[in-house]
Amino acid sequence: MKCDYFLDKVFCEFTVITHDEDCHIVTKETGIKPCRFFNKGDRFTSKYSPRIGRQPHGLWAIQSTPVISEELDISRHIQYFQKLFEDKMDIIEKLKNQYHFECVFSIDIETEDAGVGFDLNEAEVTFIQAISSRYSCHFMTKEKIDR
pLDDT at 34 over 50: yes
pLDDT at 19 over 70: yes
Mean pLDDT score, 56-64: 96
Residue of 83 and 70 predicted with greater confidence: 83
pLDDT of residue 1: 45
The answer to whether the beta carbons of residues 60 and 9 sit under 8 Å apart is no
pLDDT of residue 2: 61
At residue 64 the predicted structure's pLDDT band, cuts being 50, 70 and 90, is very high
Residue of 49 and 35 predicted with greater confidence: 35
Helices (H), ranges, the chain: 24-30, 75-85, 89-97, 122-131
Please give the C-alpha separations between residue 87 and each of 1, 3, 45, 62, 82, in angstroms, as whole numbers: 48, 43, 37, 17, 9
Cβ-based neighbour number of residue 10 at 10 Å: 23
pLDDT above 90 covers what percent of the chain? Answer: 71
Domain segments of the chain: what residues?
Answer: 8-141
pLDDT of residue 3: 66
End-to-end alpha carbon distance in the chain:
17
How far apart CA 127 and CA 123 sit, in angstroms, is 6
pLDDT in tens, 78-120: 999 999 999 999 999 999 999 999 999 999 999 988 778 899 9
